[in-house]
Amino acid sequence: MKILSSIQFTFISIFLLLSTKVFTITPFVFGYAGKDSIWSMSFGALIDFVILFLVIIIMQKNKGITFFELLKKCFGTIIAKILLGLLFVFILLKALFLYQETHSFFLQILFDEFPLLLYVVPVLFITGYFAVKGIDTIARSIEIFAIFVLIGVTICAATAINGANFNYLLPFFENGIGPSLDGLWAQMFYRGNPIILLCFMGKVEFKKYFNIKFMIANGILLIMLLATALLFYMVYGPSARYVEFALADLPQYDPFVSDLGRFNWLSVVVCTIALFLTSSIFLYCMALIGRWIFGLKRSIIPVGISLTMVIILALMHQFSLPLMMVSVANEWLWINASVLFLYVLLCLGLLIFRRKKWIKH
């Protein structure tokens, strides 16, 4: 079994948290929570942090076995496969959205005309290739690029700091807690990515104090993402609802920065790397689950099937981000929130189960 170093695993976790949180989530939440959006985002980040904590504890307490083996032990093969099937759907929708987000990002920032095939063929091939090559290839790539991506995100956000106006967020909770809770519910599609880390169970090298370091690293990232969201709301104010890609629009706000024209490219490079590698993680996890469910030895068939499903679902939405946003706001939100809720209960159950076992012994 290929083993991920603790640093590689931490970076994978960081990429999973980062990639779905920098673009559409911030304006999307603003549509529900208005100027209380930052509170919704904070509550959402807290949920991610708690799930992350649950996942890492479960992984540590069950070293040496995979998630599938753990589920089989606890619930038997059939239920284990059903649970994995739900996780597959959870990841599939996120992957599909991420592919579409990347496509729309290219359309808006890079090219006015961007033939669909020219995007679909290389992107699906590259991410598919990464997924077939295995997690060590993805992890090594992430390890190389992670620092640059994090620095890039910070620079892109910081360029708009001159235009920040804290008054846009005040007064807090003017209309009570209701809008913040609406915003919290709306972002549930984007949350719960740490659940996906369960796929790496049994493959991670746990060093001394790893848990603490892992949680601190991810906590810092969540704070950084919150700071980016805060800056976005402070810069764009009530117009935040009209913006499509938060991180891509921040470097364009300040006219002097925009005149320089360098930072738009930085956001393009940063986001391309992050989105491609995260899509590869999603695809790898889908293939892994496919292999567990159908007992396959090689990844190429489940990767191919996953990619086909992505293409079919994308075609059903005409490869359009606005159409997918409608699905996100309606059925996908419910599907993801339900799977997330089920898995949080499952994680809690697994922890309690282990604890009882310890008491017995």
Instruction: Single out the residue of 6, 20, 252, 267 in contact with other proteins (rule: CB under 8 A).
Output: 252
Residues sharing a CB contact under 8 Å with residue 260, sequence separation 6 or more, in sequence order: none
Give the range of 110-118, 150-158, 270-278, 340-348 binding other proteins by CB under 8 A.
Answer: 110-118
3-state secondary structure of 102: helix
Return the percent helix, strand and coil in the chain, to nearest 5. 85, 0, 15
Nearer to other proteins, 166 or 358 (CB): 166
How many chain residues touch other proteins (CB under 8 A)? 29
Please report whether residue 262 would count as binding other proteins according to CB under 8 A. Answer: no
Please report whether residue 115 would count as binding other proteins according to CB under 8 A. Answer: yes
Please report whether residue 170 would count as binding other proteins according to CB under 8 A. Answer: yes
Please report whether residue 255 would count as binding other proteins according to CB under 8 A. Answer: yes
The beta-carbon contacts of 299-306 under 8 Å, at least 24 apart in sequence, are: 299/131, 299/132, 299/134, 300/132, 303/128, 303/131, 303/132, 304/128, 306/92, 306/95, 306/131
| 300-316 helix and 116-133 helix, angle to the nearest 10 degrees | 150
Minimum CB separation of residue 72 from other proteins in Å reads 34
Please report whether residue 171 would count as binding other proteins according to CB under 8 A. Answer: yes
Nearer to other proteins, 46 or 301 (CB): 301
Minimum CB separation of residue 120 from other proteins in Å reads 11
Please report whether residue 294 would count as binding other proteins according to CB under 8 A. Answer: no
Q: What whole-number distance in Å separates Cα of residue 292 and Cα of residue 87? A: 12
Instruction: Single out the residue of 239, 308, 320, 330 in contact with other proteins (rule: CB under 8 A).
Output: 239
Please report whether residue 154 would count as binding other proteins according to CB under 8 A. Answer: no
Residue in 245, 305, 201 with CA at minimum distance from that of residue 103? 245
Q: What whole-number distance in Å separates Cα of residue 244 and Cα of residue 168? A: 19
Cβ-in-10-Å burial (0-12, 13-18, 19+) of 277 comes to buried
Instruction: Single out the residue of 63, 207, 212, 242 in contact with other proteins (rule: CB under 8 A).
Output: 242
Report the run of H or E that residue 243 belongs to, with start and end: none
Please report whether residue 360 would count as binding other proteins according to CB under 8 A. Answer: no
Please report whether residue 1 would count as binding other proteins according to CB under 8 A. Answer: no
Residue 333 identity: L
Please report whether residue 178 would count as binding other proteins according to CB under 8 A. Answer: no
Instruction: Single out the residue of 15, 244, 282, 283 in contact with other proteins (rule: CB under 8 A).
Output: 244
Minimum CB separation of residue 38 from other proteins in Å reads 15
Name the site residues for other proteins (rule: CB under 8 A). 108, 112-113, 115, 117-118, 121-122, 125, 129, 167-168, 170-171, 174, 236-239, 242-244, 249, 252-256, 258
